[in-house]
Amino acid sequence: MSSFNVKAYGAASKEAELVEMQIDRREVKPFDIEIDILYCGVCHSDLHTARNDWGGTRYPSVPGHEIVGRITKVGEDVTKFKVGDLAGVGCLVDSCQECASCKQDLEQYCLNGFTGTYNGEDKYLNQQTFGGYSEKVVVDEKFVLSIPENLDLKAVAPLLCAGITTWSPLKHWNVKEGSKVAVVGLGGLGHMAIKLAKGLGAEVTLFSRSPDKIQDALDLGAHKVVISTYDNEMEAVQGTFDLIIDTVPYDHDINPYVSTLNINGTLVLVGYIGKMEDGLATPTMILGRRTVAGSVIGGIKETQEMLDFCGEHNILPEIEMIKMQDINTAYERMLKSDVRYRFVIDMQSLKD
């Protein structure tokens, strides 16, 4: 298949810093769209992948799955978009389209495995997929999102992962006016969870380890902040929440949070992927019909609904703009929970 070269930023190994490199993109096929990338958000998953935290990273690794840009080319059979339109690409760029999950617009649970925007298996070029830390991307139009025109484009980028990953469980567990929702961890996902839950009418509480984030959380729309290391504060919210969205990226004891669920409440894990060393204490679950669940990103239809909801309600992340060349420092700051609350790369810095 014919391809062309673009500049990108990626890691050559798990110990390596990200540096400038060249990667291949396929020439547009009949259903493809070529996007000139303007902004790309920085997700903690980018760091996990670049550093092989989850195993299975294929190098070189070019992360980035919060992509917005302008369409520069469309294939002859493309119907949804035209050259010059704004477009977004999130965490998925392909799926089988035939299995029971895909047929229900749940491509993120594709039974044959979805193709991740990075570190996936590229069906066309014999290589891993490369993400948005690059000049251009070529994607099947089915996996391309429309961007509401009224929103500030650079701030839209994080909606494509942080937004949809928190929106999907809020919708699945039917959060509505008056629901009691809690969020664990105030980072990229956590701050979007607060804004979106509040947008749906919920009363939102933040669990955080960081007392210096209390005022921010209240400004973002939280009703209350509980510092998770203060026993008296944890005690005061026992049996309270209908839904807890836990965004913490590393192994941690979830039992203290499970007991803050109301009867029939659910704690949904979206952050840490791996074995939990502390184990789950079942009495709290059994005696309160409480659920511990998980959720991954969201489907394309649901992502469009989330973007349209954000357009209507003017909901956007708090962002800090960085240059592509600052990515390694940004990762170090992310590890120290020093992100307020999402880094977005101005991709012009890669082109200059």
Binding site for ligand NAP (CB under 6 A): 43-45, 48, 161, 165, 185-190, 208-210, 213, 247-250, 252, 270-271, 296-297, 334, 337, 339
Q: Binds 337, which of ligand NAP, Zn ion, none (CB < 5 to 8 A, cut-off by type)?
A: ligand NAP
10 or 299, CB closer to ligand NAP?
Answer: 299
- In the bound state, the residue with its beta carbon closest to ligand NAP is 187
CA 335 from chain centre, in angstroms, equals 17
* Residue 346: count of CB within 10 angstroms of its CB: 17
- How many Å apart are CA 148 and CA 152, to the nearest integer? 9
- Amino acid residing at 231: D
Q: Least distance from C-beta 334 to Zn ion, angstroms?
A: 12
Q: How large is the angle between the packed helices 188-199 and 300-313, nearest 10 degrees?
A: 70
Q: Binds 40, which of Zn ion, ligand NAP, none (CB < 5 to 8 A, cut-off by type)?
A: none
Q: Least distance from C-beta 63 to ligand NAP, angstroms?
A: 11
113 or 279, CB closer to Zn ion?
Answer: 113
Report the largest interatomic distance among the alpha carbons of the chain, rounded to a whole angstrom.
63
Q: What is the dihedral of CA 58, 59, 60, 64, to 10 degrees?
A: 40
128 or 247, CB closer to ligand NAP?
Answer: 247
**β-bridge mates for residue 267, sequence order:** 244, 292
Ramachandran quadrant class, 119 (left: phi over 0; alpha: psi -120 to 50; beta: rest): left
Q: Least distance from C-beta 247 to ligand NAP, angstroms?
A: 5
291 or 337, CB closer to ligand NAP?
Answer: 337
Residues that bind Zn ion (CB under 5 A): 43, 45, 161
Q: Binds 73, which of ligand NAP, Zn ion, none (CB < 5 to 8 A, cut-off by type)?
A: none
Say if CB 158 and CB 68 are below 8 A apart.
no
Ramachandran quadrant class, 178 (left: phi over 0; alpha: psi -120 to 50; beta: rest): left
- Amino acid residing at 50: A
Q: Least distance from C-beta 317 to ligand NAP, angstroms?
A: 10
Q: Binds 60, which of Zn ion, ligand NAP, none (CB < 5 to 8 A, cut-off by type)?
A: none
Cis peptide preceding 283, ω within 30 of 0: no
What DSSP element (H or E) covers 179? Answer: none
Q: Least distance from C-beta 91 to Zn ion, angstroms?
A: 6
44 or 136, CB closer to ligand NAP?
Answer: 44
154 or 213, CB closer to ligand NAP?
Answer: 213
Q: Least distance from C-beta 56 to Zn ion, angstroms?
A: 16
